[in-house]
Amino acid sequence: MNEYILQTNALTKRYGNFAAVSNVSLNIRKGAIYGLVGRNGAGKTTFMKMICSLAAPTQGSFTLCGETYPKLSGARAKVGNLIEEPGIYANLSAYDNLRAQAMLCGKDDPAKIRQLLEIIGLSKAGKKHAGKFSLGMRQRLGIGLALIGDPEMLVLDEPINGLDPAGVAEIRETLLHLNQERGITVLISSHILGELSKLCTDYGFLDRGELIREITQEGLLAECTESVRVQVNDTGAAQAALNRIGIMLIKAEDNGILRVSECTERTDEITEALVRSGVRVFEIAKQGTDLEGYYLNMLGGKEQAS
């Protein structure tokens, strides 16, 4: 059985001579919450539209829910999406909006609709028209509409953009519930990178239409975790000196650099131990970054190389 719900192969979308998405090959595991990270114009929305059959690829291919483009008749029914503005009837309540969508899908079950209202946190909205909803309520209703067909995967483009902190937290909790309790795979893009770091299990970084890196949450944490960077004249002697004071998680890099991944609050003690052992210390500094810093550093390296 394939462990991936979505795999793309050199997926490309051009508008004239402009490549909005260029040769993107990524893999999304079943049950993952996959964060698609990129600046405005990076190609996130275009990529999602192709996956949801809202735009046709110029070249490349993808496999979704076991079917390969363009033969996706079964897969389309297994994917719910919220891309750009949700299609909401402003003069209907949340319940009636969901029921109208359910009738279109041939799934008109009032009990399931009431259960869905509970899941998206709109069970107390009553008969209030959706046109009077807050932005957060509209986004939750949009997610509810995407869930009507009992999808295996949700594709969500900037679902927390413009929300206040309470609204962001509500969306986050809703998505975690859907993922952990119902096993729904989520592909989500967002500019709020700090929120993605609280939610995602995997990431894909897009820039100028290209996928520049895929990484798991565990890998990201390992690379973003605070550490102490020490540049010395003798890495072997330095490692031995730090081992003697109980510091074992040390990685030797080029140019006499050691990266210490534990006891980062003990910089004074680290320096003293090295000097006492006759090791010359040229530089010592704490380092660490968040998801946004990681992404900006990656872009900086890419731009310098180009």
**What domains can you pick out in the chain, each with its CATH number?**
4-221 (3.40.50.300), 226-287 (3.30.70.100)
- pLDDT tens-digit readout, 210-242: 999 999 998 887 777 777 889 999 999 999 999
Cα–Cα distance measured from residue 142 to residue 144, given in angstroms and rounded to the nearest whole number: 5
Write the CA distances from 149 to 62, 77, 180, integer angstroms: 22, 7, 18
Average pLDDT value over all residues in the chain = 90
Residue 272's H or E segment, with its range, is: helix 267-276
In the block, tokens 């909803």 appear at 133
Query: Which of 161-175, 197-211, 263-277 holds the top average pLDDT?
Result: 197-211
Residue 306 has pLDDT above 70, yes or no: no
Task: List the structure tokens of 138.
Answer: 């509209």
Contacts of 272 (CB under 8 A, 6+ apart): none
pTM: 0.79
Residue 197 has pLDDT above 90, yes or no: no
Q: Residue 1 — very low, low, confident or very high, per pLDDT cuts 50/70/90?
A: low
Cα–Cα–Cα angle for 14, 15, 18, nearest 5°?
Answer: 75
Q: Per-residue pLDDT averaged across 261-272, rounded?
A: 85
The region of weakest confidence among 38-47, 150-159, 218-227 is 218-227
